[in-house]
Amino acid sequence: MTEPTRQPSFHSGFITIAGAPNVGKSTLLNYILGEKISITSKKPQTTRNRILGIRHRPGSQMIFLDTPGIHKATKELNVRIVDTAISVLGDADLILAVADVARPDPPSENILIKNIQAQGRPAVLALNKIDLVPKTVLLEMIDAWSGRHAFSAIVPVSAKHGTQVEQLLIEMNAALPEGPPYFPEDALTDLPERFLAAEMIREKVFRLTGQEIPYATAVTVERYKEPEASGSVRIHATIHVERPSQKGMIIGKGGTKLKQIGEAARKEIQRLVGRKVFLKLFVRVQKNWSKDTKALRRFGY
């Protein structure tokens, strides 16, 4: 009697991306997905919320959870942000730890390792930005990290250039449990476009303003109206700041800075939603919102 042919197993699971601030977690996620859903900038702590992205591969579905940078936080907003990152570690089937080989951050890395070990889940390490260091330094880093935790695999990558990202995916895929797909084949994220639009606006504030301005801002979308036919998506959004002087910097002389932010954000949102966008921005002062528990809750932190 002929035995029935065994169907290839399907693997799926949640992968939490964790690391110190500014190590390239969001850049790596965007490269893996082939789409930009997680905002990036050269400033640390750009990511403030849990961002979910889905990568579909033959025989597997990888559900990534991008998280804010883990570090020793003291300010109320940063404490909440770090708490978010640590709590998401507990949701993972696999942890993808990301470290910057060009700019190590031992204190934050030690906090990361401690929390990974507390979860007792399998973990893969991506040593990012290998394009910025010589091979001898990279080999030393691999050796050092090997002694810090029993990772399932350590893969040197460059998220910016995509170097060895495919190998990283192979290693993660091998560490995922068998299971069914959680999302439809065409799903990219579980986040609403309204949320992503607010994030795109906040990214432009991070990229186009300096000093303390990015860290003193939050963005809320007051109106998000999709057209019934082929018209424009109409969005009204508010950039919240903590002091009148910051409002002036966001608006700029003759409104030039706000216009620059709006135009850059509109193009990003337009690419995201696949249709024309009308974006109107307002700037509002909410004194010391980052220290106000009610305001933090209203802004989603």
The sheet that has 233-241: what strands, in order across it? 218-225, 233-241, 277-285
Segments of the chain assigned to CATH 3.40.50.300? 11-175
Helix/strand/coil (H, E, C) string of 182-211? Answer: CCCCCCCCCCCHHHHHHHHHHHHHHHHCCC
What are the φ and ψ backbone dihedral angles of 272, each rounded to 5 degrees?
-65, -45
DSSP lists the bridge partners of residue 96 as: 17, 124
Distance separating alpha carbons of residues 247 and 130, to the nearest angstrom: 39
Pairing of strands 123-128, 153-156: parallel
Extended strands (E) in the chain: 11-19, 51-57, 60-66, 94-100, 123-128, 153-156, 218-225, 233-241, 277-285
Distance separating alpha carbons of residues 129 and 31, to the nearest angstrom: 14
20: helix, strand or coil: coil
Distance separating alpha carbons of residues 296 and 238, to the nearest angstrom: 15
- Condensed to tens digits (0 to 9), the pLDDT of residues 70-104 reads 888 888 888 888 888 888 888 899 999 999 999 99
Segments of the chain assigned to CATH 3.30.300.20? 193-298
Per-residue confidence (pLDDT) for residue 245, from 0 to 100: 94
Residues of the chain with pLDDT under 50: 1
Distance separating alpha carbons of residues 94 and 100, to the nearest angstrom: 20
DSSP state of 255: G
Per-residue confidence (pLDDT) for residue 45, from 0 to 100: 78
Distance of CA 18 to the CA centre of its chain: 10
What are the φ and ψ backbone dihedral angles of 260, each rounded to 5 degrees?
-65, -45
Per-residue confidence (pLDDT) for residue 38, from 0 to 100: 93
Per-residue confidence (pLDDT) for residue 298, from 0 to 100: 87
Q: Specify whether the CB–CB gap between 130 and 158 falls below 8 A.
A: yes
Topology of the domain covering 11-175: Rossmann fold (3.40.50)
Topology of the domain covering 193-298: GMP Synthetase; Chain A, domain 3 (3.30.300)
Distance of CA 267 to the CA centre of its chain: 20
pTM above 0.85, yes or no: yes
